[in-house]
Amino acid sequence: MRITPARRIAGVTVAATTAVIALAVPAFAHVTVQPGSAQQGGYTAVAFRVPDESDTASTVKLEVNLPMDQPMASVRVLPLPGWTATLEKSKLDKPLKTHGQDITEAVSKITWTADASAKIAPGQFQEFKVSLGALPADTDKLTFKALQTYDNGDVVRWIDEAKDGQPEPAHPAPTLNLTKAPAAGAGDHAMGASGTAAPQDDKASTASAESSDSTARTLGVVGIVVGVIGAALGVAGLRRKSSGSAS
Q: pLDDT per position in the chain (247 positions), as tens?
A: 555 555 555 454 444 444 443 333 344 579 999 999 999 999 999 999 999 999 999 999 999 999 999 999 999 999 999 999 999 999 999 988 887 788 999 999 999 999 999 999 999 999 999 999 999 999 999 999 999 999 999 999 999 998 888 888 999 999 999 999 887 665 544 443 333 444 444 444 444 444 444 544 554 544 554 454 555 555 455 455 555 555 4
* 151 in Cβ contact with 58 (< 8 Å): yes
C-alpha 77: how far from its chain's center? 19
82: number of Cβ within 10 Å: 13
pLDDT value of residue 234: 53
96: part of which helix (H) or strand (E)?
A: strand 83-98
- Any idea of the CA torsion for 171, 208, 46, 191, to the nearest 10 degrees? 140
Rg (CA), the chain: 25
Query: CA-to-CA distance for 133 and 136, rounded, in angstroms?
Result: 8
pLDDT value of residue 230: 55
pLDDT value of residue 171: 95
Residues in Cβ contact with 92 at an 8 Å cutoff, skipping those fewer than 6 apart: 68, 71, 103, 104, 105, 106
Measured CA distances, 58 to 66, 116, 118, 146 (Å)? 24, 10, 10, 17
Direct distance between the N- and C-terminal alpha carbons of the chain, in angstroms, rounded to an integer? 23
Query: CA-to-CA distance for 160 and 114, rounded, in angstroms?
Result: 25
Three-state DSSP class for 50?
A: strand
pLDDT value of residue 97: 83
pLDDT value of residue 41: 94
* 59 in Cβ contact with 91 (< 8 Å): no
Query: CA-to-CA distance for 131 and 74, rounded, in angstroms?
Result: 8
Q: Dihedral of CA 189/191/197/199: which sign?
A: negative
pLDDT value of residue 18: 44
